[in-house]
Amino acid sequence: IDMTVMIPHDLCMKLKSAKRIAVLTGAGTSAESGVPTFREAQSGLWARYDPQQLATPEAFRRNPGLVWDWYSWRRSLVAEAKPNAGHHALAKMEELAPEFTLITQNVDGLHQQAGNQAVIELHGNIMRTKCSDCDIIVEERFDTIPGPPRCSSCDRPLRPDVVWFGENLPERALLRAYTAARTCDVFLSIGTSSIVHPAASLPVEALRKGILTIEVNPEQTPMTSLMTFVLAGPSGTVLPKLVSATWST
Ligand code: BJW
Ligand code: ZN
């Protein structure tokens, strides 16, 4: 199979002349760093684990130990992961673009590690812990402790500071993400299956405003046919090519 993805010249021209660039990333962006995605048939987390038993507030109430230990395992994977060439290309893009907003559904912090400054985390961060009751953020790291530790102020179990199904996204982050999606000149959707809402509605908002949209994903998604450009390849190879084709001429 020829994995070479051609970058259209007019895409580069439009990206280079964009004043504001907004980017939405998903788990696919971190796949090449060894962080498992969610919905892929063989390698995705939901192929082996049931999200209803692990990634909902009900699951945590029912079985806090199971949920805590599963996230401890996920934290250990993330702790070993390093940003890949796609993350580095997005950090470069932030330096080169006049205005740049990176909206991520990822909880692994790899964009920040790659050097991106303007990162909006829609689904929280797996390395942060908060109280399940009083929402206090706990700075201490609990890498190897089994079962949920207890909140020092209210004694309720602590939980990862991520957004589970049925929970609201952080309000300020979501508002800033909608604003960026509606006011940018180019919107890129990278490595996301585009099915989890409200994140999946961000490219729809951009399209409604007539904004140029680009998808980077080796597979098709419900958004693929609506996008202005589709770069059908892995972000770790497509993004470095996109950045050099756009800005080094
Ligand atoms: C590559 C690649 C490479 C591979 N390069 N690409 C409207 C309609 C229907 C349902 C709803 C709706 N509004 C709300 C809902 C319910 C629900 C929802 O959307 N469900 C859908 C499944 C239908 N949403 C919610 O519950 C949200 N809350 C909410 O809406 O609150 C209001 C409300 C309250 C009460 C009732 C109703 C509404 C919260 C969503 C929270 C999502 N949480 C998770 C877990 C985070 C913590 C953790 O890490 O454990 O977030 S689920 C999981 O999915 C995670 C991800 O951020 C999220 C998105 O997944 P993503 O990133 O797209 O990954 P994948 O695996 O799906 O896709 C990977 C992609 O990469 C694939 O396309 C590959 O091809 C590609 N790829 N390798 C580039 N190398
Ligand atoms: Zn508490």
> 196 in ligand 1 pocket by Cβ < 6 Å?
yes
Q: How far is the CA of 162 from the centre of ligand 2 (A)?
A: 16
Q: Pick the closest to residue 227 from 24, 91, 4, 16 (CA basis).
A: 24
For 125-161, the pLDDT digits (tens) are 999 999 999 988 987 777 677 889 999 999 999 999 9
Q: Are 6 and 171 in contact (CB under 8 A)?
A: no
> 208 in ligand 1 pocket by Cβ < 6 Å?
no
pLDDT higher than threshold 60 for residue 2: no
pTM for the full predicted model: 0.96
Average pLDDT value over all residues in the chain: 95
Give CA–CA dist 179/193, Å, rounded. Answer: 22
Average pLDDT over residues 109-125: 97
| Protein residue with least CA distance to atom 11, ligand 1 | 197
Peptide bond into 198 cis (omega under 30): yes
Question: How confident is residue 3, by pLDDT bands cut at 50, 70 and 90?
Answer: low
Considering only 50-54, 165-169, 190-194, which range has the smallest mean pLDDT?
50-54
Q: Catalytic site residue 87?
A: no
pLDDT higher than threshold 60 for residue 67: yes
Average pLDDT over residues 45-61: 93
For residue 55, the ligand 1 atom closest to its alpha carbon is: 50
- Stronger pLDDT, 170 or 53, i.e. the higher one: 170
Q: Work out whether strand 124-131 and strand 137-138 pair parallel, antiparallel, or are unpaired.
A: antiparallel
Nearest ligand, CA of residue 132? 2
Considering only 50-59, 138-147, 194-203, 238-247, which range has the smallest mean pLDDT?
138-147
